[in-house]
Amino acid sequence: MSVSQFTPGSTDPLTLHPADCGRGHACQFCPQEADCALDKSHHEQQLLQHRLARIGQIILVMANKGGVGKSTLTANLAAGLAREGYRVGVADADIHGPNQSRFFNLVGQRVHLTPGGLETRQCHHDRLAQPIRVGSLAFLMDRDDTPIVWRDAYKHDFMHHLIGSFDWGELDFLLIDMPPGTGNELITLADLLEHQDVAALITTTPQEVALMDSLKAVRFCQERGLPLIGVVENMAGVTCPHCGGEFHLFPRAHLAQALAQLEVQSIAQIPLSPALATASDSGQPLLLDAPDSPEAQAFQPAVHACIAHARQIQQQAATNALLTVMQTAGDDSLAGLDPRDLPDGIHPDDLAELMQQEQARLNRR
Ligand SMILES: Nc1ncnc2c1ncn2[C@@H]1O[C@H](COP(=O)(O)OP(=O)(O)O)[C@@H](O)[C@H]1O
Ligand code: SF4
Ligand SMILES: [Mg+2]
């Protein structure tokens, strides 16, 4: 692994802990690693905590199978969320097939190492108030066609670098494009993100073989207690480019039945579409370039489900904080309030403001 530039000597932007060097990158990238006497595991831990403290909702896009549309969904979801004005990052966790550089037209780009960390590459677009930040192993390789042959320990380290060494800045959403399987990468990330607001989105295609694997991913989430936002059905139907007629290449009945058995919701159905394939290959997410197309519209329920999930979590956190403030002050007027009972219209920001007002009121007593 190599990085194209290192700029030593600038002021370190991260002030993490007095016993820490405050550098925004992992020790593995550090020019002082050989002589450094600091506790390196402590540094890596501080680095991760610093990054995660600035990231809101994390969403793992997973399937347990390759080629079913995880990366397609991740890229379009990122575009949809960014179009709504959210600050979005995409972490490409697929070590053996890092594709997000392709989906965002960033192929061939390399990252620079600064004292603040590895710079993310950015996707700018007229329809976006702020760019989508992308972090991928593809930006760290000398060549795009180098195969990765890493043992598990190295993969484990890379998952830490992906979250900790890239300079994600402040994000509302970090989408993680997962590799197939429920192996090392997934376990490492699930452990690493244990105390964060993390949820999963599973994608599947209707074929039996894809479904078998996707259901394993559902079970993984259920066993780990990982909130599951829902399942996105990809390649669900085709529109004939000649006659406009719609048909299903693969029967859907079994998929619907299997999801119902697992009590999981199908939240979006994405058609098999030449426009989508071309957009992905050319690095122009359809949700940015053709947001009114039927394919782009098909992603919208998934975008809205992610926003709704994040809002619910924020609302719950704000309510819990408010209750703690009230209870600490001996005020039980809100005792017994369940965050889920709050009227739909309450926005987390309003609740946060309410909390501040309440704190000020208590301070005036
Ligand atoms: N609904 C779709 N219509 C057309 N092509 C698709 C669709 N979903 C995915 N593809 C294409 O299939 C290939 C595999 O999709 P990808 O998102 O990379 O899958 P995964 O990340 O699960 O391996 C890509 O070339 C992608 O452009
Ligand atoms: S080796 Fe690690 S702890 Fe030491 S200065 Fe470099 S980044 Fe910091
Ligand atoms: Mg992929």
Looking at every residue in the chain, the average pLDDT score rounds to 83
Report residue 212's pLDDT band, with 50, 70 and 90 as the boundaries.
confident
Residue 6, φ and ψ in degrees, nearest 5: -130, 135
Output DSSP code: residue 35. T
> DSSP state, 6?
B
Instruction: Confirm or reject: Cβ of 66 under 6 Å from ligand 1.
Output: yes
Residue 50 or 144, more confident: 50
pLDDT (average), residues 209-227: 87
The burial class, CB within 10 Å (0-12 / 13-18 / 19+), for 315 is buried
Cβ neighbours of residue 6 under 8 Å, at least 6 residues apart? 29, 31, 112, 113
Gap from CA of 278 to ligand 1 centroid (Å): 10
Q: Which residues have a Cβ under 8 Å from the Cβ of 103 and sit 6 or more positions away?
A: 71, 72, 74, 75, 280, 283, 285
Name the residue with the closest Cα to ligand 2, atom 5: 21
Over 60: is that where the pLDDT of 334 sits?
Answer: no
Query: By mean pLDDT, which of 26-30, 219-223, 254-258, 358-362 is the weakest?
Result: 358-362
Q: How far apart are the first and last CA of the chain?
A: 59
Beta bridge partners of 270: 234
Testing ligand 1's pocket by substitution, the residue of 60, 68, 72, 286 carrying the most ligand atoms inside 8 A of its CB is 72
Query: Distance from the CA of 73 to the center of ligand 3, in angstroms?
Result: 9
Checking if the pLDDT of 49 tops 60, the result is yes
273 in ligand 1 pocket by Cβ < 6 Å?
yes
pTM for the predicted model, two decimal places? 0.85
Measure the CA–CA gap between 290 and 274, rounded to whole angstroms: 14
Report the CATH number of the 48-298 domain: 3.40.50.300
Mean pLDDT of 358-365: 60
pLDDT at 287: 92
Give mean pLDDT, residues 87-105: 93
pLDDT at 123 over 90: yes
The residue to mutate among 205, 276, 280, having the most atoms of ligand 1 within 8 angstroms of its beta carbon, is 280
DSSP string, 292-358: TSHHHHHHHHHHHHHHHHHHHHHHHHHHHHHHHHHHHTT--TTTT--GGGS-TT--HHHHHHHHHHH
| Ligand 2, atom 8: closest residue by C-alpha | 21
| 124 DSSP assignment | -
Selection from 79, 60, 98 nearest residue 203 by Cα: 60
> How is the chain split into domains, by residue range?
48-298, 314-364
